[in-house]
Structure 1
Amino acid sequence: MLKTALGRFRFMGLLDGSSLVILLFIAMPLKYWFDIPKAVTVFGTLHGYIFLVYLIAIVYAQFAVRWPFRFTIGAIISAFIPFGNFVLDSRLKKLQAN
């Protein structure tokens, strides 16, 4: 998966999507239901750094793969939707297979 530009981008997308899901569905309930705000601080910071690297991976993939600009916009939008990166990854897997 990490041998091609698209594979590296897919990996970063999965990492970003996983960190968002952990932040929303584990850290946020720990903060608000169990009064453990440190969970959001730690996972929020970690997700922020992963998101920045994901944005760099989007730009890198755009130039390396030479995909249309609409793919770049779609990749950015999918990062803000829970499970959006996983849907994007399934579509990219089909694209990579061709």
Structure 2
Amino acid sequence: MLKAFRITAILEGISYLALFGVTMPLKYWAEIPEPNKWVGYAHGFLFIAFILLAIGVCYTKKWGFKRLAIFGIASLLPFATFYVEEKYLR
């Protein structure tokens, strides 16, 4: 489960950056909305998977609520899931 969480953390971070760094400018500046729709779907799925896996891993590893809160906050900040994967999941 930890390996799946690590992979999901990396993919969620990439999807976050792709959504706000690539597809949002395409949608609003170039008026090309289609990529934003699909990357948004992927990011939403990965965000939910990240949160569910964070809960599962914290439960199985008996990590406290503080670490779960760190994972939750990291899911909302750009680049933070990469930090979490490097610092807490290796």
**Structure 2 length-normalised TM:** 0.91
Higher fraction of helix: 1
Paired residues for 1:23-62 under 5 Å:
23-62=19-58
CA distance in 2, matches of 1:59, 1:88: 14
Amino acid at match of 2:12: D
- Structure 1 runs of 4+ off > 2 angstroms? 5-8
CA distance in 2, matches of 1:66, 1:13: 19
Give the corresponding residue for 1:81: 77
Question: Which segments of 5 or more consecutive residues in structure 2 lack a partner in the other structure?
Answer: none
**Structure 1 length-normalised TM:** 0.84
Q: What displacement does 1:88 show?
A: 1.0
- The percent of aligned pairs where both chains have the same amino acid is 28
| 2:13 counterpart of 1:6 | no
Amino acid at match of 1:14: I
Q: What displacement does 1:44 show?
A: 0.7
Question: Which segments of 5 or more consecutive residues in structure 1 lack a partner in the other structure?
Answer: none
CA distance in 1, matches of 2:62, 2:6: 15
Q: What is the RMSD computed on CA atoms of the aligned residues? A: 1.2
| Aligned residue pairs, count | 90
* DSSP-derived class of the 1:36 partner: coil
Give the corresponding residue for 1:21: 17
* DSSP-derived class of the 2:29 partner: helix
Give the corresponding residue for 2:64: 68
CA distance in 2, matches of 1:54, 1:27: 21
